[in-house]
Amino acid sequence: MTADRIWTGGRVRTMEASQPRAEALAVRDGRLIAVGPDAEIENLAGPGTVRCNLHGRHVMPGLVESHTHALWGACRDLFDVYVGYASTLDALLTATRARAAATPAGSPITGGPWRHEMRAEMGPVPRSLLDAISELHPIVLKDTSQHVLWCNTLALELSGITRGMPDIPGGVIEREADGIPTGILAENAGAPVLPLLEYSKDQLAQATQRFVSDFNRMGFTAFKEPMAFERDLAAYKAADERGHLTLHAAAHIVRQSPMAMAPVEYDEMDRLRAGYASENLRTGFAKLFIDGVAPGHTASFLAPYLASSGYDVAAHDPDATLLLDPQTLNATVTELDRRGYTVKMHTVGDNAVRKALDAIAAARLANGDSGLRHETAHSVFITDADLPRYGALNAVAEQSPKLWMPNAATPAQVHVLGRDRVETLHRMADLRRAGAEMTYASDWPASAPDANPWTGLAGMLNRRDPTGTYDGSIGADQALTLEEALPLFTVNGARSLRMEQETGTLSTGKWADFIVLDEDPAQLSPEQIGAIEVRETVWKGRTVHTA
C-alpha cells in the first residue's frame, strides 16, 4: 500500500508498549499504515507520496483535554470583560465601566474574574458598586471558579431575584439584614441570571473558530466539553459540518447543573444525543454536579471549613452542600449508566468524591459492569479509604493541575481550609499507587486562565507554577514523573472519549493524530516543558497547525 504522506528522520514516542520508539510514520486516508524505522517507511513511498523530513525532531501522539469549556472560554476571550486572574478589583471595575460606556443601554455586560479575598473591598452591598457603573445595563461578574456571580440591581430584578424571592435549593442568595439580595449569588442561585448572558449563534460560530485554532496550536487533537446544553451541541455540530472542527470531540450533555433550573429529562437527553452526534462529535456522555467550590463554602467536605473563614463549625453537615441528595444521585447515575452514558460528576470535597463513588457502585450493583468508565471531575480531595475504590469500580479520577498548582485562587483555598488541608489536594501519586486511572483536565476558563496543556503537564512534575508567577509548591510529594504523567494526556485521554482503538497512541490502523516538537520533553526541565511551543499538529493525517 502506497502512503499519501510519510514523515521520516524523527524521534517518535508512540506511547504504545509493544513498540515505544520509532523513526518514521506512513499515512494513508488519514490513518497510520506503518510506524517504524526510516527504511521501512521509505518503502511505502510512491510517485504521489508527500515526504516530510523531521530533521531529528520529536514526535508524540496529539494531546487530549478531558475537561474544557471550549466555547465558553473562547466567548470569554472574544466578548466578555476579562482582566486576568491576578487583576485588582479597581482594574476590573474600570474595565467594566469602559465596556458599559461602549455598550447600548439594555445590553448585558458580563466578565471577571474576581477573587474571594476581594469580598471585603466590595463592601456590605456589592451590587451598589456595579449600580454606580450602570443602572441601564444588567451587569454580571463571575468569580475565578465561575460558581459565584456578582450582579447589579438590574440583573437581579430582570432575573426575579428580589427581597421576596425564597432561597433556591442548592444555592446561596446573600442578603442584607432586611432580606434584600446584596448581589452575590452562589451555585444554583445563579441559574435565573444566566439566560441574560447567552451568546448569539454568530458569536458561538466565531468562538468555535477561535478555540479550534488555539487548541490545534497548543497540540490538542481531541477534547471533551464537560457541560453541553443544546446551543453548545448545535454549535459544535455546525462547526463539524462546515469542516472547521479539526479535533475529535465529545460532549457531556447536562442532566443537572447549577446553571439549569431543573434536571433535563432522560428522553430529552436521548434526543440530544441522537440529534447532534456527527462524524467528529461524540454525544454519549452526561454531566452532573455533586458540590460546588471551596472558597464559597459550597464544596462538600467530611470535616468542616475553618471557623476563622466565617464558617459555622458547630452546624457542619457534610451533606448540606450536596447539590444532589445521595438517593437521587444513585438513581440518576444508575439510569444514565443503563442508557449508555459515560457520567462525569463535578467533585471537589472529599464527601462529594465519596458520594460519586457510591453512586457508581450503585450503578454497578443494579446494571452489572456496563464497561462505561464514569468519572469524578477534578477529584480534588480524596480520603485514604476511597483511593482504592477507583480501580475496583473501573472509575476515572480526572486531574486538574492548573486549578491547584500555586495560582491566584490559592490564598482563598488556604483561607477556608488551612494550609495543611490544601497540601493534601490532588493525590496523584497516591491514586497511581492505588491503581486508579487518571486523565488531564484544565477546566478552562473556570479557574484556569488559559487552556495551555504544557503548563499543566509541568505542574504535575513538581507541583509548582512553571511560569514563576506564583511561588512555592502544593503537595510536592504527589508529583509524577514525565513517564507517569504523559498517559493522562494521550492514552488515558483517548479512553475517556471511548476512542482508545482510534487514537491516543501512534499505532498502525489508528488515526494519524500527532504533534512535532523541537525537543523531547524528557530532556527538558518542568519550566522548559511549560514553555513548549508545538511546531506542527497533525490530525487525521492533515497538518492543522504549523509554526
464-514 confidence digits (pLDDT tens): 999 999 999 999 999 999 999 999 999 999 999 999 999 999 999 999 999
Per-residue confidence (pLDDT) for residue 260, from 0 to 100: 73
Helix axes 201-218, 70-79, angle to 10 degrees: 110
Q: How far apart are CA 66 and CA 251, in angstroms?
A: 10
| Residue numbers of the chain with a pLDDT score lower than 50 | none
Of 324, 344, 327, nearest to 395 (Cα)?
344
Question: What is the value of pTM for the model shown?
Answer: 0.91
Which residues does 130 contact at the CB level (< 8 Å), separation at least 6? 96, 139, 141, 150, 151, 152, 153, 183
Whether the Cβ atoms of residue 517 and residue 477 lie closer than 8 Å to each other: no
Whether the Cβ atoms of residue 475 and residue 439 lie closer than 8 Å to each other: no
CB atoms within 10 A of CB 322: 22
Burial category of 227 from C-beta neighbours within 10 Å (exposed 0-12, middle 13-18, buried 19 and up): buried
Backbone angles phi, psi at 130, to 5 degrees: -75, -30
Of 164, 250, 263, 167, nearest to 495 (Cα)?
250
Of 308, 292, 410, nearest to 351 (Cα)?
292
Which residues does 460 contact at the CB level (< 8 Å), separation at least 6? 399, 401, 428, 479, 480, 485, 488
Each residue of 119-154: pLDDT tens digit? 899 999 999 999 999 999 999 999 988 889 999 999
Per-residue confidence (pLDDT) for residue 257, from 0 to 100: 86
Per-residue confidence (pLDDT) for residue 512, from 0 to 100: 98
Of 440, 430, 434, nearest to 487 (Cα)?
440
What residue type is assigned to position 496 of the chain?
S
Q: What is the 3-state secondary structure (H, E, C) of 373-394?
A: CCEEEECCCCCHHHCCHHHHHC
Whether the Cβ atoms of residue 373 and residue 341 lie closer than 8 Å to each other: no
Of 441, 445, 453, 451, nearest to 534 (Cα)?
453
Per-residue confidence (pLDDT) for residue 33, from 0 to 100: 98
Whether the Cβ atoms of residue 358 and residue 330 lie closer than 8 Å to each other: yes
Whether the Cβ atoms of residue 438 and residue 491 lie closer than 8 Å to each other: no
Q: How far apart are CA 461 and CA 528, in angstroms?
A: 12
Of 353, 273, 327, 234, nearest to 264 (Cα)?
273
What residue type is assigned to position 32 of the chain?
L
534 to each of 36, 64, 219, 303, 539, how far by Cα in Å? 22, 14, 6, 44, 13
All cell numbers assigned to 318: 457534610
Q: How far apart are CA 360 and CA 399, in angstroms?
A: 18
Measured in whole angstroms, the distance separating CA 411 from the mean position of its chain's CA atoms is: 21
User: DSSP state, 546?
Assistant: E
Per-residue confidence (pLDDT) for residue 500, from 0 to 100: 98
Of 439, 489, 428, nearest to 462 (Cα)?
428
Show the domains of the chain with their CATH numbers: 5-62+510-546 (2.30.40.10), 87-197 (3.10.310.70), 201-496 (3.20.20.140)
Per-residue confidence (pLDDT) for residue 7, from 0 to 100: 98
Q: What is the SS3 assignment for 347?
A: strand
CB atoms within 10 A of CB 494: 29
Per-residue confidence (pLDDT) for residue 261, from 0 to 100: 67
Per-residue confidence (pLDDT) for residue 389, from 0 to 100: 98
Q: How far apart are CA 534 and CA 217, in angstroms?
A: 7
Q: What is the DSSP string of 269-299?
A: HHHHHHHH-BTTEEEEEEEEE----GGGT-S
Q: Quickly tell me which residue has 484556569 as its cell.
A: 448
Quickly count helices (H) and strands (E) in the chain. Answer: 20, 24
